[in-house]
């Protein structure tokens, strides 16, 4: 069977709730920065849109949609301290093993085995389902870019959910 048609489903869902059908961004081209370094020498930062946050220390995300905030999770976080605030996917498995959507333990292992040079000191988490495209493009994305540059990040690894 062909992959699930999430574009059509989201359009239908918006219509069913009385909104105009959601118009997805359609890009004909993509920006490109050649990757010409050795991964073993790179500092890699991780981002997940799974709605992961630190219980009791960080505010949960709006589990519905359009939360334009992000959290910084220290790379050495004890994963039992993490929780998920996101109503648009089945969290059952990710709540048992957060690595399904936020593979921080795997990235620590990759750092330990020298597969990547270094894991950046913080990983970024957001909540998906952001339909406020302009605010995302003008506010959140540039702020994340600024922090990545400030932190000397060579590669950005993104895990949408």
Partner 1 sequence: MGLIARRVEEGGIPTISVSSARDVTELVKPPRSVFVNFPLGHTTGKPFDRELQMKIIKDAFDALKSIKTPGTIIDLPYQWEESDDSWEREAEQQAGG
- Residues lying near partner 1 in the complex (CB under 8 A) are found at 1, 3-10, 12-13, 24-35, 39, 47, 49-50, 88-94, 96-97, 99-101, 103, 106-107, 109-110, 115-116, 126, 128, 133, 136-137, 140-142, 144-145, 148-149, 153-161
Of residues 57 and 92, the one with the C-beta less far from partner 1:
92
Residue 47, φ and ψ in degrees, nearest 5: -130, 140
Distance of closest approach, residue 38 Cβ to partner 1, in angstroms: 10
Distance of closest approach, residue 37 Cβ to partner 1, in angstroms: 8
Distance of closest approach, residue 51 Cβ to partner 1, in angstroms: 10
- Contact by Cβ (8 Å): 130, 69: no
């Amino acid at each position: 069977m062909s992959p699930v048609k999430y574009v059509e489903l989201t359009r239908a869902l918006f219509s069913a709730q009385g909104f105009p059908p959601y118009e997805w961004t359609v890009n004909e081209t993509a920006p490109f920065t050649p990757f010409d370094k050795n991964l073993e020498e790179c500092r890699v930062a991780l981002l997940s849109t799974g709605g992961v946050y630190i219980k009791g220390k960080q505010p949960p995300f709006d589990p519905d949609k359009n939360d334009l905030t992000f959290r910084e999770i220290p790379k050495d976080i004890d994963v039992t301290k993490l929780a998920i605030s996101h109503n648009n996917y089945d969290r059952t498995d990710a709540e048992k093993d957060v690595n399904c959507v936020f593979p921080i333990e795997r990235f620590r292992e990759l750092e330990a085995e020298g597969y990547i040079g270094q894991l950046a000191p913080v990983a970024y988490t957001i909540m998906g389902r952001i339909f406020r495209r302009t605010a995302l493009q003008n506010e959140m994305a540039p702020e994340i870019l600024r922090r990545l540059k400030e932190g000397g990040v060579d590669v950005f690894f993104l895990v949408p959910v």
